[in-house]
Structure 1
Amino acid sequence: MTDWPSAFFEQHPAFSPIRRFLALFTAPPDHTDWQSLPVVAHSRSGAPIRFVHSDSITEYYELAIYQHGQVATRLNWHDTFNAMIWHAFPLSKSALNAMHQRIICANPDSKIRGAARDAATLFDECGLILPYSDPQLLQMLEQHQWHELFVTNKGQWGKQIGAITFGHANFENLLNPFLGLTGKCWPIAVERDFFALDIAAQCAQLDENLAHLIDADWLQKPRQLPALPYLGVPDWHPEQDLHFYENTAYFRPKRQKLG
Structure 2
Amino acid sequence: MEKVDWGKPWLSPVRERGICLQREVSKGKSVNEALNVISLEAVRFVPQSELPVGTAYEQFIWDTRCVPTRDNLHDFFNGLVWLEFPQAKRRINELQAQAIAQDGVGAVRGPLRDALAVFDENGALLQAPAALWQALRARDWQRLFIELRPLWAEARLVLFGHALLEKLVSPRKPMVAHVYQAPQAIKSIAALDDWLAQAMQPQPWDTKPFAPLPVLGVPGWWPGNEAPEFYADAQVFRPPRTPPCTAVQAA
Would you call these one fold, judging by a TM-score over 0.5? yes
Aligned residue runs from structure 1 range 6-45, under 5 A: 8-9=5-6, 11-24=7-20, 25-26=22-23, 27-28=25-26, 30=30, 31-41=32-42
Deviation by residue 1:107-163 (Cα, 9 ceiling, x = unmatched): 23755411111000000000011122x22210100001112212222222241x221
Matched, 1:79 2:75: yes
**CA separation in 1, counterparts of 2:212 and 2:33?**
37
Task: Answer whether contact 1:39 1:50 (CA < 8 A) is retained.
Answer: no
Task: Answer whether contact 1:229 1:251 (CA < 8 A) is retained.
Answer: yes
Matched, 1:102 2:98: yes
Matched residue SS, 1:18:
helix
User: Alpha-carbon deviation of 1:20?
Assistant: 1.6
1:151 to 139, 146, 161: 146
- Structure 2 unmatched ranges of 5 or more: 246-251
User: Alpha-carbon deviation of 1:216?
Assistant: 5.9
TM-score, normalization: structure 2? Answer: 0.87
- Structure 1 unmatched ranges of 5 or more: 42-48
2:51 maps to amino acid: I
Instruction: Quote the residue 1:166 is aligned against.
Output: 160
Q: Percent identity?
A: 29
2:134 maps to amino acid: Q
Instruction: Quote the residue 2:184 is aligned against.
Output: 190
Deviation by residue 1:66-105 (Cα, 9 ceiling, x = unmatched): 1111111111111100000001111100000000011111
User: Alpha-carbon deviation of 1:38?
Assistant: 3.8
**CA separation in 2, counterparts of 1:190 and 1:216?**
23
1:248 maps to amino acid: A
Change (3 A) 1:62 1:249: same
How many residue pairs were aligned? 237
Matched, 1:57 2:51: yes
**CA separation in 2, counterparts of 1:23 and 1:236?**
20
Matched, 1:229 2:214: yes
Instruction: Quote the residue 1:45 is aligned against.
Output: none
Coordinate RMSD, CA, aligned = 1.9
User: Alpha-carbon deviation of 1:23?
Assistant: 2.2
Matched residue SS, 2:200:
helix
Change (3 A) 1:109 1:136: closer
**Shift >4 Å, 4+ stretches:** none
Moved more, 180-189 or 149-158: 149-158
Matched, 1:138 2:133: yes
Deviation by residue 1:31-75 (Cα, 9 ceiling, x = unmatched): 33223224342xxxxxxx111110121132101111111111111
TM-score, normalization: structure 1? Answer: 0.85
Instruction: Quote the residue 2:116 is aligned against.
Output: 120
Instruction: Quote the residue 2:239 is aligned against.
Output: 253
**CA separation in 1, counterparts of 2:105 and 2:156?**
41
Matched residue SS, 1:155:
helix
Task: Answer whether contact 1:100 1:117 (CA < 8 A) is retained.
Answer: yes
